[in-house]
Amino acid sequence: MLSLLVALLLLLGSALAAGAAEPDQLARGKYVFGATGGCGCHTEPKGAVNAGGRKYDGPFGTVYSSNITPDPKTGIGSWTDEQIITAVRLGRRPNGERILPVHPFTSFNGMAEEDLTALVKFLRSVSPVNKPTPPKRITIPMFESVFLPAWLMTFASKETPPATAPVSGVARGEYLVRAVGHCSECHTPRSALTMALDTSRLLAGNTKKTGPEGQATPNLTPDKGTGLDWSEEQIVTYLQTGNRPDGDVAGGLMGEMIQGTAAGYKDMTKADLQAIARFLKSIPAVKNKID
Amino acid sequence: MIRRTTVHRRRILLLGLVAAMVSACTTGSAPRMVGTGNVVYDRQRLMKIQGAQWNEIQAKFKAGDIKGIAPNAEVEAVTSMQIPSLFPEGSLPSRSKAKPEIWERWGEFEATAKNMTIWSERLRDAAQANDEKAVADIMKDYGRVTCGACHTTFRQPQTQQ
C-alpha cells in the first residue's frame, strides 16, 4: 500500500515537473524562432504567421515556402518531432523528398538538439492555418534527381552542431551567427558559377550577382575600408532596433529579419546581441568592396 | 445672353475643379505643396532630414535630454505628412530606390506615412511632457515601425544594410 502511494506521489511529481518545463520550452522555442529572424520566408507580408506561400524565383525555377503551421492537412501537424527536426536540419521531408536549399538547412544543421526541440514545441503552438502550398515549377530537367544531389554533395558546406548550445561569449555569438541566424546565407560570398559559399571569406558580403534576391549584401568582416566599421554598441542597436549609425533604418530582407514575425532579431537579449557583435569583431578581416 | 455664358463658364470651371480633385484622389497622388520641381531630389532631401532628426533624437535620449526631443519629433511629424505628395505615380528614375509597389499598394503606402505622423506626434507629446518612460517605450520601436516599415516594403535594399 505504502509503495503504491510512493509510486503515485513520484508520478504526480514528475507530471508536475513536466508541466512546469513546458512553458520554459515554449519560451525557448519562441526565442530560437526569433533568433532565426522569425522564419520570415514562411510568412507572406501581412499574412498568417508560418502559413507559407511566399514565392521565390531561382535559376532552377519557382518555389513557394511551405506552410509550417500545425495544420494536419496542409502544414506540419501530422509530422513527428523527429521529422520536423530532420526537415529543418537536413532538408528532407517525411516522404524522403528533398527540400531545396532555399531553406537554409545547411546552416540550421549547426543548431543544437535542445534548441531544435524547443523550436518544434513553438512551431506546434502557432495557430494552424489550412492553406495548401502552391506547387513548385522546376524548369531545369533532372534538377532534383541529379543536379541538386550532386550540388549538395560537392558544394554544400554544412555547419556542425555543438553538443549543447554555447551560452555566452564569442562562442555564443558564433553559434547565433553561423547556425541559428544563418547570416552566412546572405553575407558569405558565393561563387557566381556554382553558388557555393566561400567559407574561407566568411561574411565578406555579396554583389548583386550572387546576393539574395538580386541584392548586394555588405561585408561584415572588420576590414578597414571595405568591412563593417561600426562599434559593438552600434551593431547591437542595429539588430535590436533597425537603427543605423547614420540615421537610416534597416529595410529589405534585413529589415524583415530584425522585425521578424511572431519574433525576430529585435527580441534577442542584449547579451546575445553583444555576443554576436563580439564575434563579428573577432572574424578575420577580408578586403571585399561591395558597391 | 452674357449672363448665361458666364454661368456656363463657371459651371465648366467648377466641373473641371471637381474632376481634377477626383482625379487626384483616384490616381493615388496627393496634391503637391512645395518643392523644387525635381520630385526625386526633393524626397531624398526630405528623407535625409528625417534621418538626421532621428539621429539627433537618439543622441538626445542617450544624453537624457527628453524635452529636447520634442522639436525633432515635430519635424518628423510634419515632414512625414509630405511623403505621399512626393511620390507621384511612376516617378522611378534609375537613381531612385523607390519600388513600384508604392503605386501598386498606394493605400498601404499612404497608411505607412500616416503611421509615421502618428508615432512622431506621440513621441513629441511624450517628450513635451518630459515622460522618459513613455519616450523610451516609443523609441524602442519607432525606427522599425515608421521608417523601417516603409523601407522594408517600398524601398530597394541599400547595400550598406
Task: Give the residue numbers spanning the domain of B16.
Answer: 1-31
Residue B139 domain-assigned (yes or no): yes
ipTM of the complex: 0.75
pLDDT of residue A76: 98
Chain A CB within 8 Å of residue B59 CB: no
Residue of chain B whose alpha carbon sits nearest to that of A256: B152
- Residue range B94-99: mean pLDDT, rounded: 86
Q: Are residues B9 and B36 in the same domain?
A: no
Please give the full DSSP string across A173-238, using - where no structure is assigned.
Answer: HHHIIIIIS-THHHHS-B-TTT--B-GGGTT--B-TTTSGGG--B---S--TTTS----HHHHHHH
pLDDT of residue A193: 87
Residue B143 domain-assigned (yes or no): yes
**Quick check: B144 and A291 CB within 8 A?**
no
Residue A18 domain-assigned (yes or no): no
Q: Are residues B81 and B126 in the same domain?
A: yes
Q: Are residues B44 and B95 in the same domain?
A: yes
Residue A158 domain-assigned (yes or no): yes
Residue B125 domain-assigned (yes or no): yes
Cell of B82: 509630405
Q: Are residues B96 and B138 in the same domain?
A: yes
Q: Are residues B93 and B138 in the same domain?
A: yes
Which residues of chain A carry a pLDDT beneath 50? 1, 10-21
Chain A residues with CB under 8 Å of B140 CB are 241
pLDDT of residue B8: 53
Chain A CB within 8 Å of residue B151 CB: yes
pLDDT of residue B92: 84
pLDDT of residue A89: 96
Find the CB nearest A247 among B51, B151, B159. Answer: B51
Residue A14 domain-assigned (yes or no): no
Residue of chain B whose alpha carbon sits nearest to that of A245: B55
Q: Are residues B14 and B43 in the same domain?
A: no
When divided into structural domains, chain B yields a total of 2
Chain B CB within 8 Å of residue A140 CB: no
Give the single-character DSSP code of B79. H
Residue B76: C-alpha distances to residues B26, B46, B109, B113, B146 (Å): 27, 10, 17, 11, 10
- Percent of chain B at pLDDT > 70 equals 76
- Give the CATH number of the domain where residue B38 resides: 1.20.120.10
CA–CA min distance B160, chain A (Å): 6
Residue B160 domain-assigned (yes or no): no
**Which residues are CB-contacts of A127 (< 8 A; sequence separation ≥ 6)?**
A48, A49, A69
- Residue range B81-89: mean pLDDT, rounded: 94
- pLDDT tens per residue across span B19-64: 444 344 444 455 555 678 889 999 999 999 999 999 999 999 999 9
Chain B CB within 8 Å of residue A226 CB: no
**Quick check: B156 and A247 CB within 8 A?**
no
* Residues facing residue A217 across a β-bridge: A206
Q: Are residues B120 and B48 in the same domain?
A: yes
- pLDDT tens per residue across span A147-187: 999 999 998 888 999 999 999 999 999 999 999 999 999 99
Chain B CB within 8 Å of residue A204 CB: no
**Quick check: B144 and A255 CB within 8 A?**
yes
pLDDT of residue A18: 42
Find the CB nearest B148 among A218, A250, A253. Answer: A250
User: For chain B, what is the radius of gyration of the CA atoms?
Assistant: 20
Q: Are residues B22 and B93 in the same domain?
A: no
Residue B159 domain-assigned (yes or no): no
Task: Give the residue numbers spanning the domain of A210.
Answer: 29-282
pLDDT of residue B21: 42
Residue B149 domain-assigned (yes or no): yes
Residue B95 domain-assigned (yes or no): yes
Q: Are residues B48 and B117 in the same domain?
A: yes
Residue A153 domain-assigned (yes or no): yes
The model's pTM is: 0.84
Residue B146 domain-assigned (yes or no): yes
pLDDT tops 90 at residue B103: yes
Q: Are residues B49 and B117 in the same domain?
A: yes
When divided into structural domains, chain A yields a total of 1
Which of A225, A181, A136, A144 is CA-nearest to residue A39? A181
